[in-house]
Structure 1
Amino acid sequence: MKNYLKLTHFEVHRFAKLYAVLLVVTLLSQIIGVFVISKRFLNHATEIMVQNRMNEAQFMEEYGPISMANITNSMWFVSPIAFGAVTLLLYVFLIWYRDWFGKNTFIYRLLMLPTERINIYLAKATAIFLMVLGLVSWQLILLSLETKLLAWLTPSALHVELPLRETLQSLDFLHVIIPYSIMEFFIHYGLGLMFVFVVFTAILLERSFRLKGIIFGGIYVGIVWLIFLSPELSFSRSYFFPIEIFLIHLLLSVIIIGGSIWLSYYLLRKRIMV
């Protein structure tokens, strides 16, 4: 356990500088977005009210107020989230291939450490998971700050403060990264963790068998995909209740994660040599 924790800390530390860039970019982009969008709204509202001799109440009735929904649906808000998601997705691959193809082929030093090699695999997966949770937590903090900033920048007569749940509902993918309930959290992030384990195993297949490994890795991903979707693809769906279908998916996810870890353990011990 001690070695696993040290390796996890090491992997997180290696990504720290780029991770800090992701946090800062998200902060700056979204805060600037609040200023820009609120200023644009106030200028538009002032122009309309002057031209049509309307008061704030009449403007609100005809055009509606500004809220965090205006912010979350803007490129200022979405772009840094998309950038962070793509960066972490690429890092799922880079976290392994950097060790093989980077300077001094660092993977050989990792494999020679006096610890079970599976700890390397689990530490890399844990590092990815922690970085995802960190970005999500950062986004929740920013949403709270941006809500207060928007209320400060706009008159109360032209602004409505949305509850967090309604803010999340204003953009579909926000519900995915910030679930409404603990059950949804385990579902969404459990599937994400399964994806990471499957990709890691496919990478180890490629590293173990080289050119053939690319084919083996593709076949493995395809088999996993078919296994996971088998309840949807079979006629059995009409014979089960939704909760039973959910439990079948849950069981298949556990099997896939367990199978991926076992196969990776075998590859790291028997196929990948120093």
Structure 2
Amino acid sequence: MNRYIKLVNFEFNRFLKIYLVLIGITIASQILGAIIRSNQYLNDMNDLLYEQLMTREAALEQLGKISFYHITQTVWFMGPIAICIVTLLIYMFFIWYRDWFGKNTFIYRLLMLPTARINVYFAKATTILLMVFGLVAIQLLMLPVGRRVLQWMIPVDFRVDQTIREILTSFDYLMILFPSTFYEFVIHYAIGFAVVLVVFTAILFERSFRWKGIVFGLIFGAFAVTIFIFPVIVQAFILPEFFYPIELFALECIAGLVVVSLSIWTSNYLLKKKIRV
């Protein structure tokens, strides 16, 4: 366990500078976005009130009140989220291939450490998971910050104050990152973690068998997806409306455990018997 924790710490520190940059981009962009969007609204409202000489009621009827929802629709808000997601998707591959193709073939040292090789696999997967949770936590903290910026800049008569829950439920993409129930939270992030493990296994296939490994990896990925969605396929096409929702959920959990177990077992086998360094 101690060696595993050291490996996680080591992997996290290797990505720390880029990770801090992602956090900085998210904070700066979303605060700036809240300021820019609020200022744009004020300019539009001032134009209606003082240039076109509308009454407040007429201006509000034409422009409407602003809420934090309008800020979430800007590139300043969504851009950093997209950048973080894309960066972590790329890093799922980079976290392995860097060890093979870096300045020094570091994979030799990793696989020769006095610990089970599967710990390297777990450490890399855990690092990805911790990074995801960290960025999600930062994003959750930025919601009240952005809301406060809006409240500072926009008079109360021209805005609609939303609670954090209202902000989350008003924007579908945020509901994916911040599910409304613990049940949904477990589903979303368990599926995400399973995807990471399957991708890691596919990478190890490629590293073990090179060009053939790419085919093996794609086959493994397709097989894993088939296993996971099999209960849904049965429910939709073979036995329509046969399972209760709780039963379908239980079957999906079992299928997910099968996928995760298969990924871990296969990766352990490849690391111990087939991996080429």
- Please classify the TM superposition score into its range, dividing by the shorter chain length: over 0.9
Instruction: Between 21-30 and 229-238, report the one with greater CA deviation.
Output: 229-238
Determine which of 239, 243, 250 is the counterpart of 1:240.
243
Task: Report % sequence identity.
Answer: 48
Report the equivalent of 1:156: 156
Mapping for residues 225-264 of structure 1, pairs under 5 Å? 225-234=225-234, 235-264=238-267
Give the C-alpha shift of residue 229 in structure 1. 1.4
Instruction: Between 156-165 and 69-78, report the one with greater CA deviation.
Output: 156-165
Report the equivalent of 1:100: 100
Structure 2: runs of 5 or more not aligned: none
Give the C-alpha shift of residue 233 in structure 1. 2.2
1:236 is aligned with what amino acid?
A: L
Does residue 208 in structure 1 map to residue 208 in structure 2?
Answer: yes
Check the 8 A contact 1:197/1:260 in 2, yes or no.
yes
Distance 2:157 2:186 in 1: 40
> What's the TM-score once normalised by structure 2's chain length?
0.95
Distance 2:72 2:35 in 1: 13
Secondary structure, in 3 states, of the residue corresponding to 2:114?
coil
Report the equivalent of 1:118: 118
1:81-134 per-position Cα deviation (integer Å, ceiling 9, x unaligned): 000000000100110011011111101100000001111000000000000000
Secondary structure, in 3 states, of the residue corresponding to 1:32?
helix
> What's the TM-score once normalised by structure 1's chain length?
0.96
Distance 1:6 1:273 in 2: 24
1:136 is aligned with what amino acid?
A: V
Give the C-alpha shift of residue 57 in structure 1. 4.4
2:97 is aligned with what amino acid?
A: Y
Distance 1:20 1:261 in 2: 30
Check the 8 A contact 2:207/2:276 in 1, yes or no.
no
Instruction: Between 190-199 and 264-273, report the one with greater CA deviation.
Output: 264-273
Report the equivalent of 1:176: 176
Check the 8 A contact 1:204/1:267 in 2, yes or no.
yes
Report the equivalent of 2:270: 267
Check the 8 A contact 1:72/1:170 in 2, yes or no.
no
Check the 8 A contact 1:205/1:214 in 2, yes or no.
yes
